[in-house]
């Protein structure tokens, strides 16, 4: 599903590998070194376009090449025809091989790699880190999903009951909206959650994108213990949260923070923001957290 208007879309490419078509864009700053170009591999948030990472590319203070990758079922990314079920998971090890293929194609003189993930893209980044920690020089997680799994997600994605319930809701969206309105009016759910429900159930196409998107990421749930071990193997990791974020609050990282207290290469920061840490007006504060100045 496409989430960028034609005016917002830049030049994109597609690579076919591992049974998937993966869409991506490559952005380069000026004054790059002739050898060992620093690479930033970036993943956007759910139901958003890869162009969102343009703000991070523009604010990045050092010469680099950024590869912004569309998540499965976003833009042109999805399973190749005849390669298997549409809702099958994209395994982290396969995605790491796709990244290697993209970099080999686009940046043959690539140097150190930074892995940047925002929201659901942060969960993908954590899974990629756990699968191949030695591939990354720096890990940057912006309001990362994957540190706390909601019961609703777990039931929906991993059980037959969840599958039945989702497809029932797809056929009875009016009931979903009526109950959402009632729960909001009774003060049971927040204004934000009320809007979230409406947006993600707004059409059959959107509901199927949510289903396939959630299902395609279901292999990307590394445990806290696995994340901790992987973080021990990277030179630097930075977790950044929005102080006012109601979607992925900073408290989601409390357990991992306790587990990594003795790892000086791992830092946890907050900025004055809600969930959208990719807003241009927020990026200066985010960059200061990443680079310490």
By the 8 A CB rule, do 50 and 23 touch?
yes
Residue after which a domain boundary falls, among 160, 180, 214: 214
For residue 177, the tally of other CB atoms under 10 A from its CB is 15
43 membership: H or E segment, kind and range = strand 37-43
pLDDT tens for each residue of 146-194: 999 888 788 889 999 999 998 998 999 899 899 889 988 998 878 877 8
CATH of the domain at 273: 3.40.50.1820
Q: Which structural domain, as residue segments, surrounds residue 184?
A: 151-214
Residue 96 lies in a domain: yes
User: Mean pLDDT over residues 251-268, rounded?
Assistant: 97
Phi, psi angle pair for 70, to nearest 5°: -75, 130
User: Mean pLDDT over residues 273-287, rounded?
Assistant: 94
Query: Cα–chain-centroid distance for residue 139?
Result: 13
pLDDT at 194: 85
Number of domains composing the chain: 2
**Residue 293 pLDDT grade (very low, low, confident, very high; cuts 50, 70, 90):** low
Residue 183 lies in a domain: yes
Q: What are the start-end ranges of the H helices in the chain?
A: 54-59, 92-106, 120-131, 151-158, 160-171, 173-185, 191-200, 204-216, 224-231, 254-259, 280-291
pLDDT at 128: 98
Kindly report which listed range (86-90, 184-188, 254-258) carries the lowest average pLDDT score: 184-188
pLDDT at 236: 97
Pair (193, 251) in one structural domain: no
pLDDT tens for each residue of 21-66: 999 999 999 777 778 899 999 999 999 999 999 999 999 999 999 9
β-bridge pairing 110-118 and 78-79:
unpaired
Residues 6+ apart with CB under 8 A from 247: 119, 143, 192, 275
pLDDT tens for each residue of 9-33: 999 999 999 999 999 999 999 777 7
User: Mean pLDDT over residues 248-266, rounded?
Assistant: 97
């Amino acid at each position: 599903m496409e989430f960028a208007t034609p005016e917002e879309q830049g030049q994109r490419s597609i690579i076919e590998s591992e049974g998937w078509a993966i869409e991506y864009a490559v952005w380069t700053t000026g004054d790059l070194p002739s050898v060992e170009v620093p690479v930033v591999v970036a993943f956007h948030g759910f139901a958003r376009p890869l162009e969102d990472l343009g703000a991070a590319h523009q604010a990045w203070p050092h010469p680099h090449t950024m590869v912004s990758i569309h998540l499965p079922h976003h833009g042109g990314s999805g399973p190749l025809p005849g390669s298997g079920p549409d809702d099958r998971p994209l395994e982290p090890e396969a995605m790491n091989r796709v990244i290697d293929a993209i970099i080999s194609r686009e940046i043959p003189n690539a140097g150190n790699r930074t892995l940047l993930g925002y929201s659901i893209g942060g969960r993908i980044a954590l899974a990629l880190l756990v699968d191949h920690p030695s591939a990354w020089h720096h890990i940057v997680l912006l309001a990362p999903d994957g540190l706390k799994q909601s019961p609703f997600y777990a039931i929906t994605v991993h059980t037959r009951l969840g599958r039945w319930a989702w497809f029932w809701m797809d056929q009875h969206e009016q009931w979903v909206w009526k109950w959402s309105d009632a729960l909001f009016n009774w003060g049971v759910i927040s204004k934000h959650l009320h809007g979230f429900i409406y947006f993600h159930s707004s059409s059959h196409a959107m509901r199927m994108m949510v289903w396939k998107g959630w299902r395609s990421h279901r292999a990307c749930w590394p445990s806290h213990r696995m994340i901790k071990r992987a973080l021990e193997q990277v030179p630097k990791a930075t977790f950044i949260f929005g102080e006012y974020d109601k979607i992925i609050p900073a408290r989601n990282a409390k357990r991992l923070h306790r587990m990594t207290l003795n790892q000086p290469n791992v830092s946890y920061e907050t900025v004055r923001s809600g969930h959208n840490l990719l807003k241009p007006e927020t990026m200066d504060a985010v960059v200061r957290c990443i680079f310490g100045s």
